Structure 1
Amino acid sequence: MPVRRRPLTLVGIAALCGGLAAVSLVATPTAAAPNQKAEAAATYSNPVVQGYTIDFPDPAVIRGKDGVWYGYATGGPHDEQGTRGSSYKIGKSTDLVHWTEAGDVFNASNLPAYAAPGTGFWAPDVRYLNGQYLLYFTVPNTTTTTQGFDPAIGVATAPHPAGPWTPKAEPLIPARPVGGGFDTTIDPALFTDTDGTHYMYWGGYGTGLYVVKMSPDGLATVGEPKHIASSRFEGPNVLHRDGWYYLFASSANCCAGPTTGYTVFVGRSKNPLGPFVDRLGKTMLESRTGGTPVIAPNGNKWIGTGHHSAATDVSGEMYMAYHAIDRNDPWLDVSPGFTMRPMNLDRLDWIDGWPIVRAGLGASESGEKAPIAVGQIDDRFDDAAATKGRFVEVLGDLANAGPDAQSGGFGKLSGQYALALTKKNVSDSDVRVEADVRSGANGTVGVVARAGEPLGGVRAVIDAKRKQLRVETFVGGHVQSKSAPIPDGFDYGAWHVVALQARGRTVTADVTDARLADPWAEVSLKVPSRLDRTGRAGVTATGGGEVDNFSANPLYEPVRKVVPAPKPGKVDKAFSDEFNGGALGAGWSWVRDADPEAVVTGGEFKWPTQIADLVGDGTPSLLVRDQPTGNFTIETKLSIDLGVDTVRNYQQGGILVYVNDNEFLRFDIVAVEKTRIAEFGKETIFQGRRSWGGGVVGPPGETTWLRLVHTLDPKTGEHRYRAASSLDGKTWVWGLTWTLPANVTPKIGLTSQASLQGTTDQFGKALSQFDYFRVSRP
């Protein structure tokens, strides 16, 4: 709606500013120096569940109306000896970085009726919708059949995040037959749009990701699902930001111990139904699947970084809660092969319209700034004396009430107009003020920022009578107002979060169920320059209202630049080959026999895919050469005729880093089912067991440029190789990093292999065409 300006009236602004003239008569504000920053935040180390559990996969987090954070995870053990575990875990935390046990979702008395005996429960999603907590969950083995893995998605309700949880009698999304088996009906995630429509996203490897509309109460699907992402993805999560819908999803293997390449990708759309497109303009649904990396293994101890949810602290900063694997301790002590996936937490930056963890640094190990869980001014309304010490009542009354079954103590605003302001200024003009609120049928309730002398301030309120979220400013005798409609289905008598952020002259507000980046309404307003100042915060209502979990804090300072990407140096001709002659240049050698079909012709090295795969016990021919010492970059330009939308498993070609047949890295363009991916994989022997896994980089084309950047870890001497791909040789997508031990001397080279016999019979061998092989040095 348009911005409105009108003269000062009692009805329009008494609750916000009409009483501000009396503030100085009630209490003298405690001044704060302009732009004074909050005290240095505490730090934390990953994993954040250490001391509580060693395994917390597929985490979903929410802040309850009691002000405590709750986390939910796929079932598994609590200790490495496997002596204690849970089918479905609940943890709790007051700060997002120290977690303790809060119980279990299911026990013998409340198991879903359609869950097969002994089944676990996977990949939860938790929401709060109009006064009720909803937990969506995966049942991997149901009573639909006796064959196993016939997954379905269920839903349970509870009055409190810790339960008790009551599952619905029937699945929300039943097992879906596909061919001779069942689709991967897993990994649910709910999303609420600004028109009030709820959507359920789900899916995984097999046929990919889907979305379907939901009933107003979130307990039933409506209509037919829509396919939105390829079979490369699982673990969806959707966030709404700056007019875009962002679809996050994980890709590659989740649970391969020391070779787990799990990575989170994102695409965005102007519509919650898609299409979701990455930074290169590639959709997440097409065969040469798109997706922009958000977090990938970075070469430190954390690998398998994926399946996440998002959390926002009281400064407005967003964090990603995700699981990861310690590559030095990936398996249970008593069960090698069972991959432990504890929960990590890291900052999620938004740069140039795209999310990325720690500006591209990826998972952290230690010394990160902790989320701000308690505001510079903060009140949970459990202590009347503390509330009285924080607030001054300008109009009406603010009294402590409760306990409420969901929130405990809360604040009750009464009187025709009610306004309570903090006695202290927030120390910065850029500020976030938020609170859980609920109103009467015809009243308003919300929060205030930048209030002070001369008369003026900003407020954001839910207006139940007009069914709108409204931002209002007052300065110099005039009100400026802008609103957004709150859609039908919104329960004004249930707790919702109103958040008001002011940065410079831009003020934004939104209303959500539980701060999960799925707003019912949001609005932005440009304020007069005189209101770009420090001031007090507060709560306000007309016709009575209730508030809880109030916080006012300096607004977070966004990170605006990604970490610079590596750049290649000068080409070292001694380790390179332009393939301009009629034969391979000096320095090449073959592991096993030379492949007679591999030839240099027309300025390219052309090599048909072999019917042999180096992974496992395969023995294909490999073309290798010595790698230089120190840091360097390998690059090749590869064209390979894999087509699209056909199953050509697993034809591939690309770059090889080779120690031996059980210790190697392979960066290939590969056909996997109907998708085509740029896969960077690793095979190694760990604790006497062979392990293979891979991660995905950028989307491939008919021609794709591939890079591996080699560095040496300055502390351990390990070899690190970071992968990047490009569709034009200019714009690069940077992906995961694999390591090799310090005490090995790898070879580098090329590979073209892994065509199954059936694939070769049907399509013939794919042809890998390498335009050059270049090694550059800093």
Structure 2
Amino acid sequence: MRRLPIVAVLAGLALVTAAAPASAAPHRTPRNPVTAGVADTFADPAVIRGDDGFWYAYGTSDPLRSGEGTPHLLPVLRSTDLARWSYVGDAFTAANRPAWATPTAGLWAPDIRRAGDRWLLYYTVTDTTLNPGDDSAIGVATAPGPAGPWTDSGAPLVGPRPAAGGGFLWTFDPAGLTDATGQRWLYYGSYFGGIWTVPLSPDGLRVTGAATQVTIDNRYEGAYVVRRGGWYYLFGSAANCCAGPTTGYSVFAGRSKSPTGPFVDRDGHSLLASRVGGTPVIQPNGNRWIGTGHNAVVTDERGRDWFVYHAIDRGAPYLDEPFGINRRPMLVDRLDWVDGWPTVRGGRWASDPGAPDKPWSVTPKRLVWSDEFSAGLSPGWSWVRPDPDATVTGGALRWPTQAADLVGPGNDASVLVRDAPAGDWVVETKLSIDLGVDTVRNYQQAGLVIYAGDDDFARLSHVAIWNTRQIEYGRELPYAGGLSYGGMVETPPADTTWLRLAHRTDRTGEHEYRAATSLDGRHWTWGGVWTFPAGPAPRIGLVAHGGDNPPATALFDYVRLYR
């Protein structure tokens, strides 16, 4: 490999002088956001270490600063220690932009790899000149070193893929892998179409075989695959990347003995199943960081793994407030491996220097109230828009899903609510609902709700999302004179699923609610956190509503409240 000169030239940019190599720099613990001072936003980061000792990071094309306006075309940063970063330049400029991308196409989600004496930069083009309109594809550029200059290959590596019902599948988010035999692979795809992988030539510039689907559609994007201990771990980002203050983006993992799958989660659930699997790696944890997703993994000179990703500060979610591009700075945290599964900071997830970690107490200690639905509703319940079809019979609340919703301004769905107690508590319900599998029943659902009002709630429900069945933990709140809705997702549901929400107040008085799911009522997987402002606590309740007919009947076996 030819070493880069001390003075590197990036196409179309001024000269940049190199600093001391990383191996000579003292170790620093990254302090999030690590791009503070250089970039207000740096989404979909990919990181690699160069022969010169620097770490190089590549991000999606956006303006780097508020008020800047013009996007940088795949901006490049570098660092000696993963903690302090400086701007190098942009992989592309107006002069060397890929000719097969339309003038308005976005260049997104780069991935950086090395092949022999060249460096490969894979990236998404959102619209090509082949079928202008919305035909995304994957491109590749080469350079003699990680700082460039970059030369595009001249054509898509993975071209636009027509969808069966018209339009094109989302061919986004490339990620490379070299397997144990030396074979190169490329992963790509997104919600519309799922994630796929194809084999590549040794130089990484040609597809050499058929594509294999590795995740069901409508669940994952932002694939990243690592090999560890004889397993291939597929990281995938789930839910919405870019809903401002309600962004629930999170990362899950599955593993396989083969780079083509099948990938399954810790409990054996397939990432290709309608009730889609995934072991949580990181989710919003109640501090300022939400939308924690689209990751890369790097290993430092001491053999420690680091999780590189973007997130959104819920107090400043847009680049140019009150709306605009979602502000997604780059974060770096330790990646731990617990019982063979990856989790960020041992399950504490995103670090925030301004909010010291506070352990959750989520084990129910004492039952303080329950409704077993044995003889009508117990005292304390009240209705927001009563539903006469909801009845208590046979030891359960039986509630057919309404053709109604809470999301948006319509607010025609019924909600069964009661006051929440003071202090810390856990509410639990046992829910049975038959939403089928693989079919489309948008967006029928039932579950728990934290209800401050029709436009201010968090909803934990078993929901049909196109052909998938998922547990969604959604949040709606008023923002800048309008409404913002987004959600995170949790582990897979079953015909009967147990749901929990744990409540506590943080040091500022905000109310935090953490979600959990179980398939047997004994073993629980704890997930993400939504917050509500300080003041009176919202009420707790139940919902059963959604779109497509015929309705499904939700059976709530009980609601129990624990200290």
TM-score normalized with structure 1 length: 0.67
Secondary structure in 2 matching 1:258: helix
Conserved 8 A contact 1:320-1:347: yes
Instruction: From 373, 382, 388, give the equivalent of 1:579.
Output: 373
| Match of residue 609 from structure 1 | 401
TM-score by length of 2: 0.93
Structure with higher strand content: 1
Determine which structure has more spread, i.e. the larger CA radius of gyration. 1
CA contact (8 A) 2:27 2:81 kept: no
Indicate the residue corresponding to 1:632 in structure 2. 425
Corresponding residue of 1:109: 95
Is 1:590 aligned to 2:389, yes or no? no
Deviation readout 1:595-625 (Å, 9 max, x if unpaired) = 1110111111110111111000232111000
Where does residue 198 of structure 2 map in the other structure?
A: 212
Tell me which of 732, 743, 754 is aligned to 2:524.
Answer: 732
1:241 corresponds to: 228
Report 1:297-316 matches (<5 A): 297-316=284-303
Alignment pair present for 1:193 and 2:167: no
Aligned to 2:490: 697
Q: CA deviation at 1:335?
A: 5.8
Q: Which amino acid aligns with 1:704?
A: T
Matching of residue 258 in structure 1 with residue 278 in structure 2:
no
Contact 2:30–2:332, Cα closer than 8 Å, also in 1: no
**Bigger relative contact order, structure 1 or 2, given CA contacts below 8 A and separation 6+?**
1
Shift of 1:216: 1.2
Q: Report whether the alignment pairs 1:672 with 2:465.
A: yes
1:255-654 correspondence to structure 2 within 5 Å = 255-333=242-320, 336-366=323-353, 566-573=362-369, 576-581=370-375, 583-592=376-385, 594-618=386-410, 619-654=412-447
Shift of 1:367: 8.4
**Structure 1 residue 566: Cα displacement:** 2.1
1:771 aligns with 2:557: yes
Shift of 1:82: 3.0
Please state whether the residue corresponding to 2:323 is helix, strand or coil.
Answer: strand
- Distance in 2 between residues matched to 1:629 and 1:167, nearest whole Å: 60
Distance in 2 separating the partners of 1:566 and 1:320:
26
Q: Is the 8 A contact 1:638 1:768 kept in 2?
A: yes
What pairs up with 1:72-221 in 2 under 5 angstroms?
72-83=58-69, 85-147=71-133, 149-178=134-163, 179-221=165-207
Give, in angstroms, the shift of residue 144 of structure 1.
Answer: 2.3
Secondary structure at 1:240's aligned position in 2?
Answer: strand
**Following the alignment from structure 1 to structure 2, what is the Cα–Cα distance between the partners of residues 166 and 731?**
52
Structure 1: where are the runs of 5+ without partners? 1-38, 370-562
- In the superposition, relative to structure 1, how do residues 233 and 108 fare at CA in structure 2: closer, same or farther (>3 Å)? same
Matched to 2:342, the amino acid is P
Q: C-alpha separation between the residues in 1 aligned to 2:479 and 2:540? A: 22
Report what 2:534 is aligned to: 742
Taking a change above 3 Å as real, the CA distance of residues 187 and 200 of structure 1, as seen in their structure-2 partners, is: same
SS of 2:209's equivalent in the other structure is strand
Separation in structure 2 between the aligned mates of residue 653 and residue 334 of structure 1, nearest angstrom: 34
SS of 1:685's equivalent in the other structure is strand
Out of 641-650 and 113-122, give the one that drifted further. 113-122
1:133-169 CA distance string (max 9 Å, x none)? 000000001112232x210001110001111111111
Change (3 A) 1:92 1:176: same
Q: Distance in 1 between matches of 2:69 and 2:433?
A: 50
Query: CA 1:676 to 1:601, structure 2 compared with 1: closer, same or farther past 3 Å?
Result: same
Q: Secondary structure at the match of 2:371?
A: coil
1:11 is matched with none
- RMSD value, Cα: 1.6
- Tell me the alpha carbon deviations over residues 400-436 of structure 1, each in whole angstroms, 9 at most, x when there is no partner: xxxxxxxxxxxxxxxxxxxxxxxxxxxxxxxxxxxxx
Cα separation, 2, equivalents of 1:60 and 1:109: 24
Is the CA contact (8 Å cut-off) linking 2:30 and 2:333 kept in structure 1? no
* Structure 1 partner of 2:4: none
**8 Å Cα contact 1:44/1:366 also seen in 2:** no
Q: How far off its partner does 1:222 sit? A: 1.5
Deviation at 1:44, TM superposition (A): 3.7
- Of residues 737-746 and 633-642 in structure 1, the stretch that sits farther from structure 2 once superposed is 737-746
* TM-aligned CA deviation for residue 571 of structure 1: 1.3
Q: 1:751 to 1:103 in 2, by over 3 A?
A: same
Q: Distance in 2 between matches of 1:143 and 1:702?
A: 46
- Residue of structure 1 in register with 2:18 after alignment: none
Q: In the TM superposition, what is the alpha-carbon distance from 1:646 to its structure 2 partner?
A: 0.4
Q: Are 1:655 and 2:448 an aligned pair?
A: yes
User: Distance between the aligned counterparts of 1:201 and 1:267, measured in 2?
Assistant: 14
What is the deviation of 1:337? 4.1
Identity %, equivalent residues: 53
In the alignment, is the contact (CA less than 8 A) between 1:698 and 1:734 conserved in 2? no
CA deviations on 1:566-617 (whole Å, 9 max, x unpaired) are: 21121112xx211111x1111100012x111101111111101111110002
Quickly say closer, same or farther: Cα 1:68–1:274, change in 2 above 3 A: same
What amino acid is aligned across from residue 393 of structure 2 in structure 1?
T
Q: Are the aligned partners of 1:45 and 1:368 in contact in 2 as well (CA < 8 Å)? A: no
Q: Residues 41, 565 of structure 1: CA spacing in aligned structure 2 closer, same or farther, 3 A cutoff?
A: farther
What SS does structure 1 have at the residue aligned with 2:147?
Answer: coil
Matched to 2:82, the amino acid is: L
Give the CA deviation at 1:85.
3.5
Distance in 1 separating the partners of 2:462 and 2:267: 17
Mapped to 2, the partners of 1:672 and 1:565 lie a distance apart of 32
Deviations 1:725-760 (A, max 9, x none): 1111122121110000112431101000122xxx21
Distance 2:43 2:119 in 1: 21
Aligned 8 A contact 2:511 2:537 in 1: no
Aligned AA (2:562): S
Cα distance in 2 for partners of 1:661, 1:217 equals: 55
- 1:48–1:97 CA contact under 8 A, matched in 2: yes
- Report the AA paired with residue 160 of structure 1: G
Q: Alignment partner of 2:245: what SS?
A: helix
Alpha-carbon spacing, 1:83–1:227, altered in 2? closer, same or farther (3 Å): closer
Shift of 1:112: 1.2
Q: Which consecutive residues of structure 2, in runs of 5 or more, have no partner in the other structure?
A: 1-24
Partner of 2:504: 711
